[in-house]
Amino acid sequence: MPRSNHYTGVADDSGARVVPSVQAGVLLVNLGTPTAPTARAVRPYLAEFLGDPRVIDYPRWLWWLILHGVILRVRPRRSAHAYARIWDERGSPLRYRSETLAAGLQAELDRQQPGTLRVALAMRYGEPSVTHAIGQLQRDGVRRLLVLPLYPQYSATSTGSVIDAVANAFKRLRWPPELRFINDYHDDPGHIEALAAGIERWWAAHGRGEKLLLSFHGIPERYVRLGDPYADQCRRTAQLLRERLQLGEHEMVVSFQSRVGRERWLEPYTDATVRRLAADGVRTLDVACPGFAVDCLETLEEIAMQNRDFFTAAGGEALRYIPALNDSTDQVASLAALVRRHLGGWPEAAG
Ligand SMILES: C=CC1=C(C)c2cc3[nH]c(cc4nc(cc5[nH]c(cc1n2)c(C)c5CCC(=O)O)C(CCC(=O)O)=C4C)c(C)c3C=C
Ligand SMILES: [Fe+2]
Ligand SMILES: [Fe+2]
């Protein structure tokens, strides 16, 4: 049995160095999710998430007092209630759908070129941590690492925070692997094609609503003014998708969801938009969320339940949520092509 540790690399039982067949690793990173839909399990998850200065950049001591003194006394119970609505026998959708996507990507890369690329999954908050996953890849013999955060659009609050986590993990390694990072894939033609094909397939099965709303996760508007490219990348994804679907300007609407706190976030807000569309006479509204690689609380509860209720309460008949790409062959194929392209120049790129 080969044995290894972070510092010595890989050795066999006689101490001789062995060259493992797997040399490159692909680390998928998603946000993370609580371990159970209970206030007790949600609290440490929110503490880690909302304590990240990339997510909330207020002065540390002031924010620590507000977070621990106020927010973590109230929000865990509310969030747990929302999580309970989407939790099923497999657990948190974000977790198990990220896992099946990672398994699908591994199978596809193996099919193209057996045994040369190792896919692992990490969560930015909670488990398995980025540090744990990188340590495991290194023990498996990985000497070149490609990191792919499952966020098509770059934001300092999401992708930037994954960069921090990888940097922190590398600080603990005596001999870190060579590193590459996919910062975003918001305009990748394969990704746009996968999104369009997913929406078209859903329309073929369910018919087409009167309008298509694309809802992206929001961030504070101030972050964009400070240089975060997120809003531009969301709008670019939306424009490319509209062109590919051959929709007129008025057939598609873009909005931003999930505002937290008192600051202005990116507008228009999704909840106000669905109410306005209902008031304007739209009866069937289709909603897709191209910023989420897999379905999670934000799509299954906030869009498909909360915003559906806002829409019908305002006079609409049906808000129909079009699922994320999840582990579909379209998404697996587009991510596999993206990975292959970013491996360019490494021996594992062939295949
Ligand atoms: C308060 C600040 C927040 C910022 C900024 C933010 C940006 C951001 N988030 C995602 C993706 C996801 N967020 C999810 C849940 C979630 N997000 C926030 C807050 C901010 N997000 C909170 C407090 C929560 C927890 C739930 C709640 O209490 O409302 C999730 C879902 C996780 C799951 O378990 O299913 C995702 C995914 C992105 C992409 C992003 C910036 C672009
Ligand atoms: Fe979020
Ligand atoms: Fe939300």
Domains of the chain: which residue ranges?
39-86, 189-321
Cα distances (angstroms) measured from residue 22 to each of 105, 142, 342: 16, 6, 17
Pick among 3.40.630.10, 3.90.1720.10, 3.40.50.300, 3.40.50.1400: CATH of 189-321: 3.40.50.1400
Residue corresponding to tokens 């969320």: 289
- Digit-by-digit pLDDT tens for the chain (351 residues) are 344 433 334 444 454 444 445 689 999 999 999 999 999 999 999 999 999 999 999 999 999 999 999 999 999 999 999 999 999 999 999 999 999 999 999 999 999 989 899 999 999 999 999 999 999 999 999 999 999 999 999 999 999 999 999 999 999 999 999 999 999 999 999 999 999 999 999 999 999 999 999 999 999 999 999 999 999 999 999 999 999 999 999 999 999 999 999 999 999 999 999 999 999 999 999 999 999 999 999 999 999 999 999 999 999 999 999 999 999 999 999 999 999 999 988 888 765
Q: Per the annotation, does 217 bind a ligand?
A: yes
Query: In the structure encoding, which two tokens stand for residue 46, read together?
Result: 């929110």
- Which pTM value belongs to this model? 0.94
Exposure of 333 in the CB half-sphere (CA atoms within 13 A): 11
Classified as helix, coil or strand, 56 is coil
Residue with the nearest Cα to atom 17 of ligand 1?
258
- Element counts in the chain: helices (H) and strands (E): 12, 10
Residues with CB in 5 Å of ion ligand 3: 258, 298, 302
Give the binding-site residues of ligand 1, using a 6 Å CB cut-off. 31, 33, 46, 55-56, 75, 79, 92, 94, 151, 155, 157-158, 217, 219, 230, 258, 260, 291-292, 296-298
Task: Indicate if ipTM > 0.95.
Answer: yes
